């Protein structure tokens, strides 16, 4: 049961990394410092005060950058690879008492893959918002992404099993949104 909870924890935090890279790391650090989260061997540095300060500072800068027009789209391109790396890192640091080969395989595939899927969805949302509103609606997208990243991080640390159901619901929502976007694009390209 402990392995299942740690895998759920890793996947949940990886999904949050897809929305914001540093928010889940900040919450992991805070939870570890307060004794609510045990980190895997070799990752205890995440639960130190210097790491907490670095993650808090990086989170503030990341949040601010997404509210600056044009910089938000640039951040999306930079954050893509960073989200995957962060997803792998949080998954590996969460999975305790597991064979290293299995742990890192899960971290790379489930952690990195989950972060990549959710980051890809945020890129599409921001791109659609930029196209439809000229960037004016990007603040709403940034606020939603921040709320999801923070909420999912807190939920995952508190209730890892429940977070998996929330992630599945988000995936269904994204899938429906992609279908609508594809349908809209097809209608847009039809000759009159």
Q: Give the model confidence (pLDDT) of 16-71 as tens digits.
A: 999 999 999 999 999 999 999 999 999 999 999 999 999 999 999 999 999 988 88
CA distance from start to end of the chain: 59
Instruction: Provide the whole-model pTM.
Output: 0.89
């Amino acid at each position: 049961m402990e392995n299942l909870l740690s895998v759920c924890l890793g996947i949940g935090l990886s999904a949050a990394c897809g929305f914001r890279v540093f928010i889940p790391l900040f919450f992991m650090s805070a939870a570890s410092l307060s004794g609510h989260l045990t980190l895997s061997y070799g990752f205890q540095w995440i639960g130190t005060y210097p790491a907490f300060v670095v993650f808090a500072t990086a989170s503030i800068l990341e949040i601010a950058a997404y509210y600056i027009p044009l910089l938000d789209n640039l951040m999306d391109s930079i954050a893509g690879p960073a989200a995957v790396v962060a997803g792998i890192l949080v998954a590996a640091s969460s999975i305790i008492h597991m064979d290293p080969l299995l742990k890192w395989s899960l971290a790379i595939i489930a952690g990195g893959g989950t972060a990549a899927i959710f980051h890809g969805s945020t890129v599409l949302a921001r791109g659609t918002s930029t196209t439809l509103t000229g960037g004016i609606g990007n603040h709403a997208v940034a606020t939603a992404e921040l709320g999801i990243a923070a909420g999912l991080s807190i939920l995952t640390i508190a209730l890892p099993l429940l977070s998996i159901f929330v992630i599945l619901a988000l995936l269904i929502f994204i899938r429906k949104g992609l279908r609508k976007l594809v349908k809209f694009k097809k209608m847009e390209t039809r000759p009159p």
